[in-house]
A and B are shown apart, each in its own frame.
Chain A
Amino acid sequence: MTIAAGVVDRAQRTSPRAPVRRPRRIRKQTVAAWCFLAPSLIILAVFVFWPIVYSFDLSVHRWKFSADAQAWVGMANYERMWRDARFWNALGNTVYYTVFTVPLGIVLPLALAMLLNQAIPLRSLLRSAFFLPVIASFAIVALAWRFMLDPDIGLLAYWLSFLGFPHVSPLRDPNLAMPSVILASLWKNLGFNMVIYLAGLQSIPQVLYEAARIDGANRWQQFANVTWPQLRNTNIFVLVISVIGAFQVFDPSFVMTPGGGPLFSTDTLVTYIYHTGITNLNLSYAASIGIFLFVVVFILTLIQMRLTRAWEQ
């Protein structure tokens, strides 16, 4: 009898709106559930949901940390963004960073993953080597990059001088600072996308390749007709998280080129928010730029959900 009751209860639980046949037990579980959830929900409410709501509130006020009163200013903060050359500069730099890190950060890891998915010697050692930068703190390895590119002590700067680069730090050159940050970021994140692509490649059924080979498909045809279409969802995922991640870049710019870089050439949206809100304590304006970034990320997330769902239907 007890087993049967358990089975009935299970069937009932999986149906969406099952009639409550055991109110006492459900009540007991409800109390237990809210006890289990309470600590997490309180923390998420205070430190995730409230700050988002508070962002919108701040963005329609004018408030410096020092002042007591918050004056309602409506859309003034957003209008100020429209006229703020440093905001547009930061947005432009962020787009510049995104346009280079995202495509290269997809093509290189995919190529690596495909090569490392073959039965070649030293495979796991090579995989670990490419993965190494992923487990390191970006702030700390960015210091190493900064020193390596320093013309007084850096080996990389020394080698670059043989390639005809001037004997100054590329990090102090407005045209070379951002490419240096991009290079360091590609290096840091290579292994991350590689692992995601390896997982994607390994989930492709081998029978598809066998069938393609029986049909006489060469390596390129196998890639174009099996690998690439099968990786569609992985590609969408990698593309969207890469773009979202690129729009939120902070560590390499802040550590390699403090203060926004030469002529603010490496100032990104997040370093500009940090500068505005934390360094200058102009909280309401910083919150408005945060809202702008939030909208961008939100749209990207919606696009990903749309694309993934369209594929599954």
Chain B
Amino acid sequence: MATARTPRIGEDGKEAPGPLFTTVTLIVLGVLALAVVFPFIWMLFTSLKPESEIATYPPRLLPRTWTFENYENVWNRIPFARLFVNSIAFAGGVTVVSLALDSMSAYALARLEFPGRNVVFVLILIALMLPFQVMFVPLFVTVHDLHLLDSFGGLIIPRATNAFGIFLLRQFFVTLPKELDEAARMDGCSEFGIYWRIILPLSGPALATLAVFHFMYNWNDFLWPLLITSSLEMRTLPAGLALFVGSHVIEYGVVMAGAVLALLPLLIAFLFAQRYFIQGIAMSGIKE
């Protein structure tokens, strides 16, 4: 094996690229990565410029005068605190409730024996394939008829369970050894006890991945809050900021400060829980 032509093997057992290849790759990827990150850098620097400087021509990337005035003004020019609280309540509420209901359904489908189980599972799979975008108009009428428009109930209840979440957790619960439930049942544990004290504690990583998925999806979602809410007091950050730009005299710096603050929570979460973000994406790729 140890001939001159044998490719060098890298740290993870792959063919290690040569130094020239590595250098060229690094330069290409570095330039591309900078281009991809550029809009975020531009947002940050714009939010740190005084309004007069943003409107000067020709535009510059770096501020001449660094200022935090946009971050002070964002609280009174836009009802930013209200939008932020709404986003937390909406995304946080959906995450908590959906995690509970998804895992309960997944438990029934993965661990319990009952007539009609396959029918229910097929129904979940069908729900998984029905996209929200094709039916949001009748859904809007349904939410209206239930008198839930422009309320947290209207935002959260229709999202309180998720076919993808049920499917994902079901696939995970099926892999846990059946002996656990059997033993607990012999000891007289209730089904809820088995779910709550045995299955859930063993499913930490799957639940964390789904929690990140739910929170990110709803924190970032635009069409749903746009549809359900109509007053500025009920808007979430994406819908509130986008519509604010559409309907008011724009102060670019203030809007960009709001945008940076709206992106910050997920950015921080991403730094600490990168694994769960990536897993969430990779898992949605495996759901085929």
Known: A40-B166, A283-B137. Contact between A49 and B263, CB under 8 A? no
By the criterion CB–CB under 8 Å, are B101 and A141 in contact?
A: no
Q: Interface code B235-262, partner A: CB below 8 Å = 1, 0 otherwise?
A: 0011101100110000010011001001
Alpha-carbon separation in the docked complex, A191 to B178 (Å): 38
By the criterion CB–CB under 8 Å, are A206 and B134 in contact?
A: no
By the criterion CB–CB under 8 Å, are B141 and A36 in contact?
A: no
Known: A251-B222, A286-B137. Contact between A244 and B108, CB under 8 A? no
Shortest Cβ distance from residue B232 to the other chain A in the assembled complex, whole angstroms: 15
Alpha-carbon separation in the docked complex, A43 to B242 (Å): 29
Interface residues of B in 193-249 (CB under 8 A from A): 195, 216, 219-223, 227, 237-239, 241-242, 245-246
Known: A36-B107, A43-B158, A119-B14. Contact between A140 and B140, CB under 8 A? no
Shortest Cβ distance from residue B187 to the other chain A in the assembled complex, whole angstroms: 10
By the criterion CB–CB under 8 Å, are B263 and A140 in contact?
A: yes
Alpha-carbon separation in the docked complex, A203 to B124 (Å): 28
Task: Report if B96 contacts A (CB, 8 A).
Answer: no
Chain A residues with Cβ under 8 A from B222's Cβ?
137-139, 250-251, 254-255
By the criterion CB–CB under 8 Å, are B161 and A118 in contact?
A: no
Task: Report if A115 contacts B (CB, 8 A).
Answer: yes
By the criterion CB–CB under 8 Å, are B238 and A39 in contact?
A: no
By the criterion CB–CB under 8 Å, are A121 and B22 in contact?
A: yes
By the criterion CB–CB under 8 Å, are B259 and A140 in contact?
A: yes
Task: Report if A301 contacts B (CB, 8 A).
Answer: yes
Chain A residues with Cβ under 8 A from B188's Cβ?
none
Give the residue of B55, B216, B266 whose beta carbon is less than 8 angstroms from that of A153. Answer: B55
Alpha-carbon separation in the docked complex, A55 to B219 (Å): 27
By the criterion CB–CB under 8 Å, are A187 and B36 in contact?
A: yes
A216's nearest neighbour on chain B, judged by CB, is B5
Q: Pick from A6-14, A74-82, A98-106, A173-181 the stretch touching chain B.
A: A6-14
Q: How large is the interface on A (under 10, 10 to 19, 20 to 34, 35 or more residues)?
A: 35 or more
Task: Report if B2 contacts A (CB, 8 A).
Answer: no
By the criterion CB–CB under 8 Å, are B112 and A29 in contact?
A: yes
Interface residues of A in 35-79 (CB under 8 A from B): 36-37, 39-41, 43-44, 46-52, 54-55, 58, 65
Alpha-carbon separation in the docked complex, A48 to B13 (Å): 47
Chain B residues with Cβ under 8 A from A224's Cβ?
none
Task: Report if A195 contacts B (CB, 8 A).
Answer: yes
Shortest Cβ distance from residue B96 to the other chain A in the assembled complex, whole angstroms: 13
By the criterion CB–CB under 8 Å, are B220 and A37 in contact?
A: no
Chain B residues with Cβ under 8 A from A126's Cβ?
29-30, 33
Chain A residues with Cβ under 8 A from B11's Cβ?
119
Interface residues of B in 110-141 (CB under 8 A from A): 112-115, 117, 120, 123-124, 127, 129-131, 133-141
Task: Report if B282 contacts A (CB, 8 A).
Answer: yes
By the criterion CB–CB under 8 Å, are A255 and B135 in contact?
A: no
Known: A140-B241, A143-B242, A144-B39. Contact between A250 and B142, CB under 8 A? no
Task: Report if B48 contacts A (CB, 8 A).
Answer: no
Shortest Cβ distance from residue A144 to the other chain B in the assembled complex, whole angstroms: 5
Chain B residues with Cβ under 8 A from A37's Cβ?
104-105, 108-109, 120
B22's nearest neighbour on chain A, judged by CB, is A120
Chain A residues with Cβ under 8 A from B57's Cβ?
152, 158
Give the residue of A141, A158, A209 whose beta carbon is less than 8 angstroms from that of B58. Answer: A158
By the criterion CB–CB under 8 Å, are B163 and A44 in contact?
A: yes
Alpha-carbon separation in the docked complex, A32 to B194 (Å): 11
Known: A154-B59, A293-B134. Contact between A141 and B182, CB under 8 A? no
By the criterion CB–CB under 8 Å, are B223 and A192 in contact?
A: no
Residue among B28, B141, B227, B237 with max Cβ neighbours from chain A (10 Å): B141
B120's nearest neighbour on chain A, judged by CB, is A37
Alpha-carbon separation in the docked complex, A187 to B107 (Å): 38
By the criterion CB–CB under 8 Å, are B252 and A147 in contact?
A: yes
By the criterion CB–CB under 8 Å, are B246 and A258 in contact?
A: yes
Task: Report if B54 contacts A (CB, 8 A).
Answer: yes
By the criterion CB–CB under 8 Å, are A41 and B26 in contact?
A: no
Chain A residues with Cβ under 8 A from B131's Cβ?
244, 248, 294, 297
Show 13 residue pairs from A and B whose CB-CB distance is below 8 angstroms, ordered by the A residue: A39-B160, A43-B160, A48-B127, A52-B134, A118-B22, A119-B11, A120-B26, A132-B36, A137-B219, A199-B282, A290-B135, A290-B137, A297-B134
B interface with A by C-beta (< 8 Å): 7, 10-17, 22, 25-26, 28-30, 32-34, 36-37, 39-40, 42-43, 46, 54-55, 57-61, 101-102, 104-105, 107-109, 112-115, 117, 120, 123-124, 127, 129-131, 133-142, 157-158, 160-161, 163, 166, 178-179, 182-183, 186, 191-192, 195, 216, 219-223, 227, 237-239, 241-242, 245-246, 252, 255-256, 259, 262-263, 266-267, 270, 274, 277-278, 281-282, 285-286, 288
Closest 8 CB pairs of A and B: A119-B10, A277-B137, A137-B220, A196-B285, A139-B238, A139-B222, A32-B191, A47-B158
Name 15 extra pairs, CB < 8 A, besides A44-B123, A129-B36. A36-B104, A41-B123, A43-B160, A44-B163, A52-B138, A112-B32, A115-B25, A115-B28, A118-B16, A137-B221, A137-B237, A139-B238, A144-B40, A152-B57, A291-B134
